[in-house]
């Protein structure tokens, strides 16, 4: 095989890593011993509080965040405390920095406490495909506990804070905490469900339907995490990133966005997304059932009133004029 065949990919990877690394791969870790009452506000206004336990363990300021994650994962308070007890000091990342590199060995389970990120693969011709997006509360790499190496690079799209749980300390904990194993299984299943939806609309949907479904998914996930029914949510992804996620050109994405704006279906201004019309969900054929997780012991969750499937999913929604 020609050794020059992989040069565009290596050059693109090197350029991206250099760009993201020029100011340092990550900001300095948060202080190991934060004073009681410490308060930090993330990119979406999610606050974390320092509440030291009797041992003075500083990472328990993430207890409110972990409790919210644990509700989704079905973890009891004791399991939460055990996870927090073995977590490393939190790390802050700026927009554009990378969290992990494609091909690198992974040694920790990573929680996204605030901000947003995305996973991407660089192809042989130097182009990039975004394969997942991550929002506050997401586990970035539950499968790496088994796979051991990162199959994609993870970049920050809005200033983020992450909390890492080392595999070396997590694995012994799993032997005595089966609920954590179940939680990781459920989280991995959620990732797989999202990937299946992406596969369907990447392979079989028009450009407009792809973009509409992506916007509906992000809006729903942001509202579900925040517990808010507000019409407007933060949307920090650029048009270039949308193109890389949707398998479209930047020009095509721009054209579709302009069409959606001109028809008053959405508003996307300065990193804020508002879905203006129910018709938009019909265009996307958006059914949020794949995003509604439950623990193994829970009954099936009810559909949210705002995103009820009877209101959203329309099998014969309007066809888009804009296609690949």
How much is the pLDDT for 319?
37
How much is the pLDDT for 156?
95
Rounded-to-integer distance, Cα 232 and Cα 164, Å: 30
How much is the pLDDT for 306?
44
Write out the DSSP string of 220-254: HHHHHHHT---SEEE----HHHHHHHHT--HHHHH
How much is the pLDDT for 95?
92
How much is the pLDDT for 155?
95
How much is the pLDDT for 297?
47
How much is the pLDDT for 224?
82
How much is the pLDDT for 293?
66
Rounded-to-integer distance, Cα 44 and Cα 234, Å: 7
How much is the pLDDT for 276?
93
Rounded-to-integer distance, Cα 248 and Cα 243, Å: 5
How much is the pLDDT for 4?
55
How much is the pLDDT for 12?
57
How much is the pLDDT for 60?
54
Rounded-to-integer distance, Cα 166 and Cα 170, Å: 6
How much is the pLDDT for 140?
94
Nearest to 79 by CA among 61, 57, 63: 63
Within 13 Å and on the Cβ side, how many CA atoms surround 238? Answer: 12
Instruction: Name residues of the chain where pLDDT drops below 50.
Output: 1, 20-59, 295-297, 299-310, 312-324
Predicted model pTM: 0.75
How much is the pLDDT for 14?
58
């Amino acid at each position: 095989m020609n050794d020059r065949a992989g040069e565009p990919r290596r050059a693109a990877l090197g350029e991206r890593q250099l760009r993201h690394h020029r100011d340092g791969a990550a900001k300095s870790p948060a202080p190991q011993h934060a004073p009681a009452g410490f308060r930090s506000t993330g990119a979406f206004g999610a606050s974390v509080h320092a509440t030291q336990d009797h041992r003075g363990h500083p990472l328990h300021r993430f207890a409110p965040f972990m409790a919210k994650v644990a509700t989704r994962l079905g973890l009891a308070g004791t399991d939460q405390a055990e996870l927090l007890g073995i977590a490393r000091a939190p790390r802050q990342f700026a927009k554009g920095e990378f969290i992990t590199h494609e091909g690198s060995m992974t040694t920790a389970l990573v929680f996204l406490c605030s901000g947003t990120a995305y996973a991407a693969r660089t192809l042989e011709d130097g182009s990039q495909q975004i394969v997942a997006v991550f929002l506050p509360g997401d586990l970035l790499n539950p499968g790496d506990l088994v796979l051991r190496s990162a199959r994609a690079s993870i970049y920050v799209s809005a200033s983020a804070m992450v909390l890492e749980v080392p595999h070396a300390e997590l694995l012994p904990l799993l032997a005595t905490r089966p609920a954590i194993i179940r939680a990781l299984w459920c989280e991995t299943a959620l990732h797989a469900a999202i990937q299946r939806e992406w596969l369907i609309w990447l392979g079989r949907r028009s450009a407009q339907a792809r973009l509409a479904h992506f916007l509906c998914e992000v809006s729903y996930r942001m509202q579900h995490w925040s517990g808010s029914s507000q019409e407007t949510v933060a949307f920090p992804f650029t048009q270039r990133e949308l193109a890389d996620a949707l398998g479209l050109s930047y020009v095509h994405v721009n054209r579709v966005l302009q069409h959606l704006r001109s028809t008053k279906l959405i508003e996307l201004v300065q990193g804020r997304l508002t879905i203006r019309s129910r018709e938009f969900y019909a265009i996307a054929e958006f059914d949020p059932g794949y995003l509604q997780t439950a623990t193994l012991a829970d009954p099936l969750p009810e559909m949210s009133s705002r995103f009820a499937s009877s209101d959203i999913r329309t099998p014969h929604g309007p066809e888009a004029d804009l296609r690949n």
